[in-house]
Structure 1
Amino acid sequence: MKKSWQRKSMLAMALLSMSLLIFTAGCGGNSSDKKAASTDKQGVVTLSWAHGSSPEDRLGKASENFKKNVEKKSKGTILINHYPANQLGSEREVMEGVSLGSIDCGVISSAVVAGFSKSVNVTNLPYMIENRQKGWKIYDGPFGQKLGALTEKEGGWKFLGWAENSLRQFSNSKREIRTPADMAGLKIRTQENDVHMKIVNDLGASATPIAFGELYTALQQGTVDGQENGVALTYSMGFAEVVKYMTLLPHIYDPYIVAISKESWNKLSPEQQKIFQECVKEFIKDERNLNEQNDKEFLSIMEKKNGLKTYTPTAAEAAQFKEATKDVEPMIRSKAGDEIVDAFKKAVAES
């Protein structure tokens, strides 16, 4: 499965490269011309839409649905060039491009966004959101709008909404994890994010930052014993082939930000802006629903086909994980600020 996805990704990259070469030769420009918004004489605006997931992933599928929807509803006055699988660069590079205006739209995970908007560090406060329905309510409500507005101010883009990355779960190749004591000695891959690393280290494991593209090999070769990603991504990336155990206790509800560069947004007419925002709202609902369906379907497949053993901690066991990571909050407060952390905790309590 992983090799099949890699072949498709390589083919997509090759086709993209050929397209860019043809475009450059014909117009005398460079590849960046294809990434930024353009408006033709008929008022048609073409926008790039980029993310890091494969075309076959729920984000890739929802993005294709979004492309069709916005082009139909705008009657062809907004066209979308969809770039999945990091075709325009890593998530960090895409987020930087959206901030600078060289890439139009990005759907980016919160851990990466936190590098551009300090307030987004609040999304990494562990063991606060135990299910996705609660996450949807929090991020669609006043707190989510407040945080989105802060990202605009700090990151320099136009905030459009919060989609869903995943409920991040621990999985590993060594043993079942019921309590933090079971994590002792395990090497767990994390993103290069100091909050994620502290969570893992405080639970007794050893946080090991590794590039996502190298994770399968790292698990296969034993460079790391485990990882912390959602169910759907664990399946779609073939990680169930190299891990044996998954603990169904999400430590983070990880949202995706949906953002557009301010320059690109301003190229849309008021009517186009309205259509685009409505279609983003529909995209978010679609992507979340696909993610929820995938989690149920893929978990069952991994258990039956790959022999993945899953465990759901009891309330008493879950409390141990929360207690072990209590020192993460002061770290997040120092990064995001007390006001947004208090607003998040209030939203959680009221949801």
Structure 2
Amino acid sequence: MNNKKLMAIFSAVSITLMSSNVFAQTFKMAIGDAAGGTQWELATKFSEMMKEKTAGKVKIDLFPNGQLGNEQDTVNDAAIGLLDFSVLAINNVTPFSPTVGVLTMPYLIQSADEAKLLTQGPIGKELTDNTIRDAGVRIIGWAYSGFRVLTNSKRPVKSPADLKGMVIRVPRNEIMIASYQAWGVNPTPMAWSETFTALQQGVVDGQDNPYVTVYAMKFNEVQKYVTNIRYIFSLEPLIISESVFQQQSPNIQKMILDAGKEATAHSFTFLKNTESSIRNDLEKKGMVFVEPANGEKEWIDAIKKNVWPKFYGSIGGKDKFDHVLKALGR
């Protein structure tokens, strides 16, 4: 018998032995976005891995498109054990665990590789520990969604001055609100579940999200122009209620953590393989893409002057921010 067959038999026996002590369970997972985006991709991969690792004894029921409440509500529900899992934008975790906000500092992360380095390295481990302490939830995986680009229904936007008179939707996140204020507009904080309707009805003119989210949410139906600002790399953690996690056996806890790592790796590959094609599809659907003037200099200068200093305190101090920059080689 060759080595490959021996390994296959060993793997099958291992799964059987490990799952023999697993009781049948069904968990609920909230997903903020619609099916088809990076949140969904992360969630489905995690669900598949848990099913495989437990020989089908653990099932994850997925509830996309905010069916179980807005993203911040799901953090509350998970914290008190009413919800098992949630995949959500990181800016909706930040109000509960402010130091996580370092990953939302504008123009900090400048590539997908930098996002991976921060989330999967020592800094990501520290932020996970802080989130358990502060919010009662544990980050077990990450969806990588790419840079948040600005969309609007009014006109091409190349500089902050072009935003004048526009109503821009943002999450209820102080750093993101301050970013638009630094660019000369007062944005409108709004729950994610309300955003499509608000854009459709003209209550707001624009919003920002990665290509994949724009595509999954069909924003091309209500938005015309895309400005390729790269101010925030969108990270979407998969969280589990810490109380639910602690109720599991060590065996199941390990499976959850391992499945989270595998789903994270899958998400990174998914972004790399699909981002360009999604942009092309959006262009074919009629969206007009605009590059910011002068390499985003005006956008960046306003952020570094007016936003970074304002939030050093909330993310753990300027030393913490400098530590993250150093980890990125800057």
5 Å-filtered alignment, 1:162-201, equals 162-201=142-181
Instruction: Give distance in 2, aligned partners of 1:262 and 1:113.
Output: 14
Instruction: Give distance in 2, aligned partners of 1:84 and 1:305.
Output: 24
1:31-79 per-residue CA deviation (whole Å, 9 max, x = no partner) reads xxxxxxxxxx973343222221223333224322321221111223433
Query: What secondary structure does 1:176 align onto?
Result: coil
Q: 1:250 to 1:273 in 2, by over 3 A?
A: same
- 2:295 is aligned with 1:317: yes
- 2:191 is aligned with 1:211: yes
Query: What secondary structure does 1:336 align onto?
Result: coil
Deviation at 1:280, TM superposition (A): 0.9
5 Å-filtered alignment, 1:17-32, equals none
Amino acid at match of 1:334: G
- 2:281 is aligned with 1:278: no
TM superposition outliers: structure 1 runs of 4+ over 6 Å? none
- The 8 Å contact of residues 170 and 188 in structure 2, kept in 1 or not, is answered as yes
- The one of 145, 155, 160 equivalent to 2:125 is 145
Amino acid at match of 1:181: A
Amino acid at match of 1:205: V
Q: 1:85 to 1:329 in 2, by over 3 A?
A: same
- The 8 Å contact of residues 29 and 60 in structure 2, kept in 1 or not, is answered as yes
Instruction: Give distance in 2, aligned partners of 1:231 and 1:42.
Output: 39
- The one of 307, 322, 328 equivalent to 1:342 is 322
Deviation at 1:165, TM superposition (A): 4.2
Q: 1:318 to 1:217 in 2, by over 3 A?
A: same
- The 8 Å contact of residues 147 and 340 in structure 1, kept in 2 or not, is answered as no
Identity of aligned residues (%): 29
- The 8 Å contact of residues 39 and 88 in structure 2, kept in 1 or not, is answered as no
Query: What secondary structure does 2:265 align onto?
Result: helix
- The 8 Å contact of residues 130 and 249 in structure 1, kept in 2 or not, is answered as no
Instruction: Give distance in 2, aligned partners of 1:175 and 1:79.
Output: 46
Deviation at 1:342, TM superposition (A): 2.8
- 2:96 is aligned with 1:131: no
Instruction: Give distance in 2, aligned partners of 1:65 and 1:134.
Output: 23
TM-score, normalized by length of structure 1?
Answer: 0.81
Report the counterpart of residue 5 of structure 2 in structure 1.
Answer: none
Q: 1:220 to 1:47 in 2, by over 3 A?
A: closer
Instruction: Give distance in 2, aligned partners of 1:82 and 1:305.
Output: 29
Q: Structure 2: which 5+ runs fail to align?
A: 1-20
- The 8 Å contact of residues 178 and 317 in structure 1, kept in 2 or not, is answered as no
- 2:39 is aligned with 1:67: no
Instruction: Give distance in 1, aligned partners of 2:114 and 2:77.
Output: 31
- The one of 200, 207, 211 equivalent to 1:220 is 200
Deviates more, 1:256-265 or 1:156-165: 156-165
- The 8 Å contact of residues 91 and 108 in structure 1, kept in 2 or not, is answered as yes
Deviates more, 1:174-183 or 1:114-123: 174-183
5 Å-filtered alignment, 1:9-24, equals none
Instruction: Give distance in 1, aligned partners of 2:175 and 2:41.
Output: 30
Instruction: Give distance in 1, aligned partners of 2:144 and 2:74.
Output: 18
Deviation at 1:251, TM superposition (A): 1.0
- The 8 Å contact of residues 38 and 143 in structure 2, kept in 1 or not, is answered as no
Report the counterpart of residue 288 of structure 1 in structure 2.
Answer: 268
Two-structure CA RMSD over aligned residues (Å): 2.3
- The 8 Å contact of residues 157 and 262 in structure 1, kept in 2 or not, is answered as yes
- 2:67 is aligned with 1:87: yes
Deviates more, 1:157-166 or 1:100-109: 157-166
Instruction: Give distance in 1, aligned partners of 2:260 and 2:199.
Output: 36
- The 8 Å contact of residues 109 and 165 in structure 1, kept in 2 or not, is answered as no
Deviates more, 1:160-169 or 1:88-97: 160-169
Q: 1:209 to 1:47 in 2, by over 3 A?
A: same
Query: What secondary structure does 1:250 align onto?
Result: coil
Q: 1:42 to 1:179 in 2, by over 3 A?
A: closer
Instruction: Give distance in 2, aligned partners of 1:76 and 1:259.
Output: 21
1:281-305 per-residue CA deviation (whole Å, 9 max, x = no partner) reads 1111223333444422221011122
Deviates more, 1:263-272 or 1:192-201: 263-272
Instruction: Give distance in 2, aligned partners of 1:241 and 1:81.
Output: 29
1:188-211 per-residue CA deviation (whole Å, 9 max, x = no partner) reads 111122221110121123312233
Instruction: Give distance in 2, aligned partners of 1:267 and 1:260.
Output: 12
Report the counterpart of residue 311 of structure 2 in structure 1.
Answer: 332
1:139-168 per-residue CA deviation (whole Å, 9 max, x = no partner) reads 112211121221111112233233224421
Report the counterpart of residue 92 of structure 2 in structure 1.
Answer: 112
Aligned residues between the structures = 309
Deviates more, 1:115-124 or 1:261-270: 261-270
Instruction: Give distance in 2, aligned partners of 1:104 and 1:217.
Output: 28
